[in-house]
Amino acid sequence: MFADRVTIFVRGGDGGNGCLSFRREKYAPRGGPNGGDGGDGGDVIIRAEEGLTNLAHLSHQRHWKAERGDHGQGSNCFGKRGEPLTITVPAGTIIRDRDRGHVLRDLKNHGDQVVVAKGGRGGHGNTFFKSSVNRAPRQHESGFPGEERWIVLELKVIADVGLIGLPNAGKSTLLSRISRAHPEIADYPFTTKYPNLGTVLVDSEHAFVVADIPGLIEGAHTGLGLGHEFLRHVERTGLLVHLVEAMPVDGSDPVRNYEMIRKELEQYSQALAERPELVVVTKMDLTDAEEARDRLAREIGRDVLSISAVTGRGVPQLLRAIQEKLKDRPEEEETPEPTRITLPPAPASPSIPDPESDPEPAADSVSSASE
């Protein structure tokens, strides 16, 4: 199963309650307050981990909650902080607040992480409220609730090269030829349902990652044919390799097919349309393929490469051309990280906690004695 978009609910752990307690010993009958603070709740953290390729492992669990902090106890014992909850995702995952719509973080690299729901602060025990005028305070706080929100995790495949084109243009066949990837290949359109990644080793010092993007159709920029789901995976690629079938089985015109895909890219994103591109005519082992390639080159007014992924013709030349293009690629500018918006917890007034939820007082302490 492949999943590249998941919506989940996250909640930080609640803070533990502060303790109401007084020291009572044989020779210290009025020893004063000794109620400890509650522990802070654990945070919910999302971290990009190496080895993950999609979000399928999150699709079966909708609610995620970190551990709450322990309650404070007598003898000035503070509660233990709740353990944080870490959710792992693949690099390239964008995290959005579902209700507000803003980006919390773009986890581009392995090891990037962000706190999406902060744990609540632990409540103060009555020791905290001791003063020169209030020597026997009976105030204490309940723990504060943790942050909670619905978030959308959206994966955009990170690759150096993106293979684009109409369905059945030969993208999966080319990927299987130049890498060890094993995408599904068949003689019918829409064989590829989700992006496939493959690493291409040019030589001992050079390699690049290629993404086989599912076939685009006319109207993809409006979402037709899952266009948005496919197009967003092209956004992170540094180079587009546009595959055009020399002799389409449906009898369509290769020139119009090329122009149609270019139009979809422009209407989806002008920045994407301006990405460096190599135009490649595929299936050159077919009859009249040479004539179709020459016509396409004349019509679009640029150099066109030609390959046959089945026989291997033109594939080495294509790899060299890709490597040259990648060498000339400018360094990506660092984009500032979005500011994480912290939801303030609701104010909690000092109160006596529910006896069912409070810890038992320590053996050497009593909670009902007076000074």
pLDDT value of position 217: 54
Domain annotation covers residue 193 = yes
Domain annotation covers residue 175 = yes
- Which residue, of 107, 124, 155, is where some domain finishes? 155
Residues 77 and 198 in one domain: no
pLDDT value of position 115: 96
pLDDT value of position 95: 95
pLDDT value of position 366: 39
Q: Which domain holds residue 247?
A: 161-313
Report the predicted TM-score, pTM, of the whole model to 2 decimal places: 0.69
Residues 54 and 92 in one domain: yes
**What parts of the chain have a pLDDT lower than 70?**
1-2, 181-194, 204, 215-230, 329-371
- Nearest C-alpha neighbor of 36 from the set 145, 128, 138: 128
Residues 54 and 141 in one domain: yes
Query: Going along the chain, which residue ranges are E strands?
Result: 5-11, 22-23, 44-48, 63-65, 85-89, 93-97, 103-107, 113-117, 148-155, 161-164, 196-201, 207-212, 239-245, 277-282, 305-306, 365-366
CA distance 194 to 314: 27
